[in-house]
Amino acid sequence: MADVKITVRKNGSLKIEGPIELYDADGNAFPLDPSKPAIALCRCGASKNAPFCDGAHKECEFTSEVKAPVA
């Protein structure tokens, strides 16, 4: 099993659990708290704390339900 788990939340963020490093387009690292077991990344584009989710998807009525293919 992988050390990192990414969950696509229905109508919400990407939940990322495990040891990660996160960088912007210029290669600068975002400060992450290693004591927190997970982070949530915005998918709706409305977060005022991008790239992190701040719950704005609830206000902007973001909808997305991504399902993995079933074999």
**pTM (predicted TM-score):** 0.90
> According to the model, what pLDDT value does residue 64 have?
97
> According to the model, what pLDDT value does residue 1 have?
63
When pLDDT is cut at 50, 70 and 90, the band that residue 8 belongs to is very high
Residues 6+ apart with CB under 8 A from 13: 40, 41, 42, 43, 53, 57
> According to the model, what pLDDT value does residue 17 have?
97
Query: pLDDT for 21-55, tens place per residue?
Result: 999 999 999 999 989 999 999 999 999 999 999 99
* Domain chopping of the chain, boundaries: 1-71
Task: Count other C-beta atoms under 10 Å from residue 63's C-beta.
Answer: 10
